[in-house]
Structure 1
Amino acid sequence: MTESDGTPHPGSAAPDGEPIYADRVYRSMPGVISGVLLLLVAGWLIGDAVLNGTGKTPWVALAAVPVFASPVIAYTLRPAVLANDRRLLVRNPLRTIDAPWAAVEGLRAGYSVELFAAGKKFQVWAVPVSLRQRKRANRELAKGGSGSLHASRLGMSTRPPRTVLPDAPDPTRAWSDQVVGVLQELAERNAGRAEAAGAVRISWCWWIIAPTLAGLVALIAVIAAA
């Protein structure tokens, strides 16, 4: 949780007297909104097929629920990045990567955001890279720079650059680049902490995988039934 100005909310004090900060959470809001809309539309269509369908249609619709809903949840609602002063937790569609800061080697935002930890590379699904947003940010940066240069040539005084609060929107940087910058700073600041040591842990999201496979088997069985 964060305060309204974008700074982390301080929790209770740690044994050494330092405050414990809640996790910073990053996720793609367009992805969440699209996932909710897809689930609503699918729920309406499947409900209609179950109530008004004939023959095998209701059973096919019911068997298709986990086959459709589970991947939608996995790829739109589940992805998130959680970071505190001890570790970085990356929730991807089918895997969760729990990386203490001491094991984080770096983050990079190219055509996608990538996490390098323990000699491996992981995609960060929760922070998609928008090339259009990046181009717009570059235009804003160039516009500010050219305006300041023009004013200085005319002998006009220019206002000091606007201070951007932590986690606050910065029009001169794409959102993905801002997130990577914040996480990289957290990694550099906390890598030496004793609480931030440990090995990278990777776990599979079986509550997504198992229902999808079971639903797929049931769907094939229902369709193949005479």
Structure 2
Amino acid sequence: MLTESFHYRPLFGRILAAAIVVLCLVGLAGLAVAGDWANLVRTAWPLAFFGALAVALFWRPRIMIEEHGVTVVNVLRTIEVPWPAIQRIDTRFSLTLFTPGRKVPVWAAPSPGIRGAVAVERADVRNLGESAYGPGHSVRPGDSVSTPSGQVAFVLRKRWEALRDAGHLDSGAIEEGSVKVTPHWATIAALGVLFAGTVASLVV
């Protein structure tokens, strides 16, 4: 069984979110210092909305690979996937877990774009997990360990294959509701209120 957990949250995303929030705060502070209260009131809503959106999109998403399973924290929901429920791991557009009746994309681990795919070297796709390779030993650019999706997929496949080969995934049918989905209601409500306030401030 697994003894160590693996948590992944991209550093660049946190830096980007922090930069956007700081810029929004600087904008508000600048208007306050200038005494431009009319524009301060008008722009407070959109700046607050973009700051909150940046946190939701880039700061919060992450994936946690642990002994009991995989927890994926996306923008608007958290998905808890037990190991036996994982049928396939793919990296076509982003790291994605395929389970019975549901596929779980991992927002924190996107696959590379065209430029990133061109930069992939052969050394980056060697000695991956057996399940990473397709017909003719083909492999997706998103499986390269030089990419976010490939880094996480490598760890995930290694542990999933170890559990599979040890027989820990042969428990029979997956129970209904074993994949738990928890919406981020507070985030959804906050973004909804801030967006409504933004629209209202622009119309007035």
Equivalent-residue separation in structure 1 for 2:46 and 2:104 (angstroms): 30
1:97 aligns with 2:84: no
Aligned CA RMSD, in angstroms, stands at 2.9
Tell me whether 1:173 sits opposite 2:145 in the alignment. Answer: yes
Any unmatched runs of 5+ in structure 2? 128-143
Distance 2:154 2:202 in 1: 50
> Match for residue 169 of structure 1?
none
Q: Tell me which amino acid in the other structure corresponds to 1:118.
A: P
Identity percentage of aligned residues: 22
**TM-score for both structures, normalised by structure 1:** 0.67
Shift in Å, 1:55:
4.8
Corresponding residue to 1:71 among 53, 57, 62: 53
> Is residue 190 of structure 2 the alignment partner of residue 217 of structure 1?
no
1:207 to 186, 194, 197: 186
Query: Aligned to 1:125, what secondary structure does the other structure show?
Result: strand
Answer yes or no: is 1:87 the counterpart of 2:60.
Answer: no
Deviation at 1:53, TM superposition (A): 4.8
TM-score (norm 2): 0.73
Who is 2:41 aligned against? 59
Secondary structure of the corresponding residue to residue 127 of structure 1: strand
Task: Indicate the larger mover: 31-40 or 125-134.
Answer: 125-134
Number of residue pairs matched?
Answer: 178
- Paired residue secondary structure (2:107): coil
Name the counterpart of 1:136: 119
Correspondence for 1:183:
156
Contact 1:130 1:174 in 2 (8 A): no
Aligned to 2:98, the other structure's residue is in SS state strand
Deviations 1:65-106 (A, max 9, x none): 431112101111111010111110011111111111111112
The superposition leaves residues 164-222 of structure 1 with CA deviations (integer Å, 9 ceiling, x where unpaired) of xxxxxxxx73332232122122223346268xx76001111122211111122223334
What residue number does 2:92 align with? 110
5+ residue gaps, structure 1: 1-17, 146-160, 162-171
Larger Rg: 1
